[in-house]
Amino acid sequence: MRIQLLGAPIDALNMKETVSEIEEFLHKDSKPHFIITLNPEYLYRAQDNEELMKLIYEADLITPDGTGIVWAAKTTGSPVPERVTGIDLMLNLIPLAEQKGWGIFLLGAAPGVAEEAAGNLKKQYPRLNIVGTRDGYFKPHEEDKIVKEIAAAKPHLLFVALGMPRQEQWIYKYKEQLAVPVSMGVGGSFDVIAGRVERVSPWLQKLNLEWLGRLIKEPYRWKRQLVLPKFAWLVIKKYKLKI
């Protein structure tokens, strides 16, 4: 089922159902599918950015990424089962990829990080088929070559860590040329998997305070996090909620 929140569709699926849906994509046809893990920052920016909103509508699957989205969906009367973040979805797809023999490609993050992340994934999943890695600090004139490289490697899953919304714009722009069955943006996930950035502890995640943990660990993010109260206020105003 799809719900609507601030003008955007969101798939009301839990993690398990999301993974099954992606598995379906891979079995169904060879058409390239594109997944957006929609966080409050993206949805807030999409309110006055037609291109970003269009990308959401073009996506084959839109997951509720973040406590803010789960809260807003519940408060406005169309709840979603749980948070499905980019990193969690990626980490749920990896064991399945190993089991099914799906090829994966990691594009993005600083030079060396995607390789390190790939190395750590291989340690945990020795039979995982990583068909390629490439850092995310390239010049526009290199993009054609990168797209060809990825297409030639023929991954089943492409994880793109260029930061939001660039990763979503990039996937959408090159989707047909890449011809990868499933692509998704994963933000800073490679840094976490490579062990360069520590993820917020599970107890804070459970308390829905991942945003607070990230603010403490990566204080330079405070400006970006200002969007969270703005997002909440927008929901309150738009849906005429009582506070």
Sites of contact with ligand UDP (CB under 6 A): 108-110, 136-137, 161-164, 187-188, 190-191
Measure Cα distances from 8 to 38, 69, 166 in Å.
Answer: 10, 11, 19
Least distance in angstroms from the C-beta of 163 to ligand UDP: 4
Measured distance CA(72)–CA(191) in Å, rounded: 29
Least distance in angstroms from the C-beta of 224 to ligand UDP: 7
Q: Which is nearer to ligand UDP, 36 or 180 (CB)?
A: 36
The burial class, CB within 10 Å (0-12 / 13-18 / 19+), for 72 is buried
Residue 118 gets the label, from left (phi > 0), alpha (psi -120 to 50) or beta, of alpha
Q: Which is nearer to ligand UDP, 98 or 188 (CB)?
A: 188
Least distance in angstroms from the C-beta of 191 to ligand UDP: 5
Least distance in angstroms from the C-beta of 166 to ligand UDP: 7
Q: Which is nearer to ligand UDP, 54 or 217 (CB)?
A: 217
Q: Which residues contact 188 (CB under 8 A, 6 or more apart)?
A: 87, 109, 161, 163, 197
CB-CB neighbours of 243 under 10 Å: 5
Measured distance CA(167)–CA(116) in Å, rounded: 20
Least distance in angstroms from the C-beta of 192 to ligand UDP: 9
Measure Cα distances from 63 to 48, 53, 130, 136, 210 in Å.
Answer: 21, 14, 25, 24, 17
Q: Which is nearer to ligand UDP, 36 or 73 (CB)?
A: 36
Q: Which is nearer to ligand UDP, 98 or 108 (CB)?
A: 108
Least distance in angstroms from the C-beta of 65 to ligand UDP: 9
Q: Which is nearer to ligand UDP, 6 or 161 (CB)?
A: 161
Q: Which is nearer to ligand UDP, 137 or 222 (CB)?
A: 137
Measured distance CA(129)–CA(120) in Å, rounded: 13
Is 217 within 8 Å of 198 (Cβ atoms)? yes
**Nearest one of 185, 183, 197 to 41, comparing CA atoms:** 185
What single-letter DSSP state applies at residue 242? -
Least distance in angstroms from the C-beta of 243 to ligand UDP: 28
